[in-house]
């Protein structure tokens, strides 16, 4: 069976878990990345699991057979451009899955497109590429889902990280073999 692309399904607020359960019951492969957060009530603290991407569940589906997804209780729409659903790059979903499986501390963060691109050379996220930022005095690897314009921050150790080479990010003009910096 062919692996269908991943899509972001927008769901009603606080319905992520129920939608994921319904999608699983219908035979769809779904992904709902969660993180642990600590909440304070007047008399106690409680650790709760919350979605890393609030309001969204990721699902592999055949767009020609999307009606069962759209009629799932709690589903609002499939994210895209206008009325055309757009798939999410497999590498972005794989990176988030790897981060969640790693057991490292993760949390939602502001979407970033600029910054130092790095690669992780060791540790449970070895091989991932992303942007490093300092949040609350700790280094975090920023992983993004571009279509949603949302990101998560995963805590990493400084010695796991090395910058990507400049040539990795530049396109070359074949006639001169010099970097084309116009883009």
What does the pLDDT look like over 86-116, one tens digit per residue?
A: 999 999 999 999 999 999 999 888 675 545 7
Is the domain of 166 the same as that of 102?
Answer: yes
As a whole number of angstroms, the distance between CA 54 and CA 15 comes to 9
Residue 85 dihedral angles phi and psi, to the nearest 5°:
-65, 140
What does the pLDDT look like over 166-177, one tens digit per residue?
A: 444 433 333 333
Is the domain of 101 the same as that of 142?
Answer: yes
Domain end call among 30, 53, 85: 85
Range of the domain at 72: 1-85
For residue 30, give both structure tokens. 């779904």
Could you please report the per-residue DSSP string of 97-164?
Answer: HHHHHHT--EEEE----SS-EEEE-SSTTTT-EEEEEEETTEEEEEEEEGGGTEEEEEE--GGGEEEP
As a whole number of angstroms, the distance between CA 159 and CA 151 comes to 22
Is the domain of 96 the same as that of 170?
Answer: yes
Taking the whole predicted model, whether its pTM rises above 0.85 is answered as no
For residue 154, give both structure tokens. 């995963």
Taking CA atoms, 136 is separated from 84, 109, 133, 182, in Å, by: 39, 12, 10, 36
């Amino acid at each position: 069976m062919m692996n269908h692309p991943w899509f972001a399904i927008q769901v009603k607020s606080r319905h992520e878990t129920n939608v994921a359960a319904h999608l699983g019951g219908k035979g769809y492969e779904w992904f709902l990345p969660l993180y642990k957060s600590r909440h304070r009530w007047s008399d106690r603290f409680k650790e709760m699991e919350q979605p890393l991407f609030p309001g969204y569940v990721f699902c592999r589906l055949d767009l020609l057979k999307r009606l069962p997804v759209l009629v799932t209780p709690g589903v609002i729409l499939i994210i895209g451009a206008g009325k055309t659903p757009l798939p999410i790059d497999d590498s972005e979903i794989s990176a988030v899955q790897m981060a969640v499986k790693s057991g490292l501390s993760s949390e939602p963060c502001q979407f970033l497109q600029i910054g130092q691109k790095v690669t992780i050379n060791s540790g449970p996220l070895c091989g991932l590429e992303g942007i490093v930022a300092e949040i609350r005095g700790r280094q975090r690897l920023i992983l993004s889902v571009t279509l949603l314009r949302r990101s998560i921050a995963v805590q990493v150790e400084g010695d796991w990280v090395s910058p990507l080479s400049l040539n990795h990010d530049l396109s070359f003009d074949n006639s001169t073999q010099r970097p084309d910096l116009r883009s």
